[in-house]
């Protein structure tokens, strides 16, 4: 049966280690699998740049003209502990032996892709061009996707197969997130003998922070100072203080504005005290939002109903490759494929959900002829 073929393929995949930065061997095994199914491979040349264990690649399945091309995406790398995974089937689910993760995140997505191709071919389903993009280094800051040459993808629309929970979940909204690395330098002085000669970095920062809005800013924006480090000794005026903060918002512009506000307040206090400021704002992810009326969302919803599921529209707290593809001009949503408790040794996937995810993906392809053409 094809469910057992899906499960077996998945079990084989998770036994090839691919912890981030060590994706090489796994990528090789995948390329062979896609080629064996008759797909053509397009590989980029980014691992020198990213330092990851593998390049990204696209496997392309030719299709008939006149049907909108579509792509699917999964990532090849896993978190730790992800070495020597021994999967087992227990109570209608697949789990690890509890000493490692299972790596259903995101090898379930990859197994779905391979099974999807087999079923398309066996059932002779008419389809347009289908692309499968496999990225490296997703778990370490979406590094592979960020470096990818997006021109490798012909399709405008795509589904990322990398969301947990029962089939039906769709991430239509994801936040923009910034990391702030801030350092304030004052001047050291003996705290008892001549404190007036010093400039206390913590005093400067405290003044700025006391004027900042932090925590929940509004219904879609938050800010946090999560780490702080400074000073050398009890009796020295603190010369230098560093802190790490984050700002995230489902509204991209609000996020930028809040980052700017924090910088402005720091600048004002630093100027007042004649200290020095180093303020680094790094965009970690760029948010996206697709309306429920967007053709991609409507398409997903229709196909879910065909397989007996209802769409659940979700907002994600963090980022996935979907954020990067949207930022690069593609239109993408991340869909649930059934895995649970990711990034823990308790990670598992219910076989019934796994099978449903394949059915859903197959339906996405089968119904593409009715997808409104972008041309
Ligand atoms: Zn993932």
- For residue range 245-274, list pLDDT tens digits in order: 999 999 999 999 999 999 999 999 999 999
Which of 326, 319, 328, 332 lies closest to 284, judged by CA? 319
Ligand 1 centre distance from Cα of residue 324 (Å): 13
pLDDT in tens, 145-171: 999 999 999 999 999 999 999 999 999
- Measured at the CA of 174, the angle between CA 160 and CA 95, to 5 degrees, comes to 50
Q: Where residue 327 falls among pLDDT bands split at 50, 70, 90?
A: very high
The parent domain of residue 242 ranges over 176-285
318 inside domain: yes
Q: What is the pLDDT of residue 71?
A: 98
83 inside domain: yes
Ligand 1 centre distance from Cα of residue 106 (Å): 5
Q: For residue 64, what are the CA distances in angstroms to 33, 69, 130, 295, 330?
A: 23, 9, 10, 21, 21
143 inside domain: yes
239 inside domain: yes
How high is the mean pLDDT of the chain? 97
pLDDT, mean of residues 317-325: 93
pLDDT, mean of residues 339-360: 98
User: DSSP string covering 302-341, please?
Assistant: HHHHHTT---EEEE-SS--HHHHHHHTT-EEEEEE-SEES
Residues 9, 126: one domain?
Answer: yes
Q: In 185-278, which residue ranges form alpha helices assigned H by DSSP?
A: 201-211, 252-273
Listed residues 223, 253, 285: the one ending a domain: 285
Residues 130, 149: one domain?
Answer: yes
Ligand 1 centre distance from Cα of residue 158 (Å): 16
Ligand 1 centre distance from Cα of residue 328 (Å): 19
Residues 110, 48: one domain?
Answer: yes
Residue 94 reports pLDDT greater than 70: yes
141 inside domain: yes
Beta bridge partners of 4: none
Ligand 1 centre distance from Cα of residue 138 (Å): 7
158 inside domain: yes
Residue 230 reports pLDDT greater than 70: yes
Residue 186 reports pLDDT greater than 70: yes
Residues 147, 70: one domain?
Answer: yes
Q: What is the pLDDT of residue 375?
A: 59
Q: For residue 264, what are the CA distances in angstroms to 190, 209, 260, 279?
A: 30, 11, 6, 10
Ligand 1 centre distance from Cα of residue 196 (Å): 53
Residues 240, 151: one domain?
Answer: no
Residues noted as catalytic: 77, 138
pLDDT in tens, 190-200: 999 999 999 99
Question: 200 in helix, strand or coil?
Answer: coil
pLDDT in tens, 99-141: 999 999 999 999 999 999 999 999 999 999 999 999 999 999 9
Beta bridge partners of 244: 181, 227
Q: What is the pLDDT of residue 318?
A: 85
pLDDT, mean of residues 288-298: 95
Structural contact between residues 354 and 338, judged by C-beta atoms closer than 8 angstroms: yes
Give the C-alpha separation, 164 to 142, whole Å: 17
Residues 189, 326: one domain?
Answer: no
Structural contact between residues 323 and 332, judged by C-beta atoms closer than 8 angstroms: no
Structural contact between residues 187 and 199, judged by C-beta atoms closer than 8 angstroms: yes
Q: Where residue 143 falls among pLDDT bands split at 50, 70, 90?
A: very high
Residues 351, 340: one domain?
Answer: yes
Listed residues 285, 313, 347: the one ending a domain: 285
Listed residues 285, 301, 319: the one ending a domain: 285
Percent pLDDT > 90 in the chain is: 97
Structural contact between residues 105 and 164, judged by C-beta atoms closer than 8 angstroms: yes
Residues 191, 94: one domain?
Answer: no
Residues 221, 334: one domain?
Answer: no
60 inside domain: yes
Ligand 1 centre distance from Cα of residue 2 (Å): 24
Give the C-alpha separation, 318 to 285, whole Å: 8
CATH of the domain at 130: 3.40.630.10
Residues 221, 329: one domain?
Answer: no
- Other CB atoms within 10 A of residue 146 CB: 19
Domain count across the chain? 2
Residue in the structure block whose two tokens are 């003044």: 207
CATH of the domain at 230: 3.30.70.360
Q: What is the pLDDT of residue 374?
A: 66
Residue 355 reports pLDDT greater than 80: yes
Q: Where residue 220 falls among pLDDT bands split at 50, 70, 90?
A: very high
* Torsions phi, psi for 349 (to 5 deg): -140, 130
Ligand 1 centre distance from Cα of residue 142 (Å): 10
Residues 50, 198: one domain?
Answer: no
Structural contact between residues 287 and 250, judged by C-beta atoms closer than 8 angstroms: yes
Q: Where residue 372 falls among pLDDT bands split at 50, 70, 90?
A: confident
Residue 72 reports pLDDT greater than 70: yes
Ligand 1 centre distance from Cα of residue 164 (Å): 9
Determine which helix (DSSP H) or strand (DSSP E) holds 301, and give its type and residue range.
helix 295-306
375 inside domain: no
First to last CA, the chain: 39
Residue 57 reports pLDDT greater than 70: yes
Please, what is the angle between helix 2-14 and helix 351-366, to 10°? 110
Beta bridge partners of 58: 42, 133
Q: Could you tell me which residues come within 8 angstroms of residue 39 by beta carbon, excluding any fewer than 6 positions away?
A: 59, 60, 61, 117, 132
- Per DSSP bridges, beta strands 93-95 and 176-185 are unpaired
Between 318 and 330, the higher pLDDT residue: 330
Residues 45, 166: one domain?
Answer: yes
**pTM summary value:** 0.91
Ligand 1 centre distance from Cα of residue 105 (Å): 5
Ligand 1 centre distance from Cα of residue 147 (Å): 17
pLDDT, mean of residues 43-58: 97
């Amino acid at each position: 049966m094809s469910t057992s073929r899906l499960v077996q393929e998945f079990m084989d995949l998770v036994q090839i280690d691919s912890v981030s930065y060590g994706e090489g061997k796994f990528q090789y095994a995948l390329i062979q699998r896609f080629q064996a199914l008759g797909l053509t491979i397009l590989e980029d040349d980014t691992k020198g740049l990213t330092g990851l264990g593998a390049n990204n690649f696209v496997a392309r399945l030719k299709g008939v003209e006149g049907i909108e091309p579509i792509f699917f995406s999964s990532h090849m790398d896993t978190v730790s502990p992800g070495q020597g995974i021994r999967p087992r089937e227990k109570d209608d689910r697949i789990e690890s032996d509890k000493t490692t993760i299972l790596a259903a995140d995101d090898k379930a997505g990859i197994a779905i892709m391979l099974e999807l191709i087999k079923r398309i071919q066996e059932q002779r389903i008419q389809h347009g061009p289908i692309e499968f993009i496999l990225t490296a280094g997703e778990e370490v800051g979406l590094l592979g996707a960020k470096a990818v040459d997006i021109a490798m993808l012909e399709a405008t629309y795509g589904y990322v197969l990398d969301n947990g929970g029962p089939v039906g979940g769709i991430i239509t909204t994801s936040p923009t997130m910034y990391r702030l690395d801030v350092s304030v330098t004052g001047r050291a002085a003996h705290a008892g003998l001549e404190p007036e000669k010093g400039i206390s970095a913590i005093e400067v920062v405290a003044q700025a922070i006391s004027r900042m809005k932090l925590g929940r800013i509004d219904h879609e924006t938050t800010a946090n100072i999560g780490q702080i480090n400074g000073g050398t000794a009890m009796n020295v005026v603190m010369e230098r203080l560093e802190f790490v903060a984050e700002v995230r918002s489902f509204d991209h512009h609000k996020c930028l504005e809040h980052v700017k506000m924090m910088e402005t307040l720091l600048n004002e206090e630093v100027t007042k005290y004649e200290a020095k400021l180093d303020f680094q704002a790094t965009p970690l992810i760029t948010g996206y939002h697709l309306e429920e009326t967007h053709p991609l969302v409507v398409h997903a919803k229709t196909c879910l109903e065909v397989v007996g599921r209802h769409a659940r529209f979700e907002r994600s707290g963090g980022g996935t490759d979907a954020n990067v593809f949207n930022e690069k001009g593609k239109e993408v949503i991340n869909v649930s494929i059934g895995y649970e408790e990711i990034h823990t040794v308790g990670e598992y996937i219910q076989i019934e959900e796994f099978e449903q995810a394949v059915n859903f993906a197959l339906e996405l392809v089968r119904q593409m002829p009715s997808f409104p053409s972008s041309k």
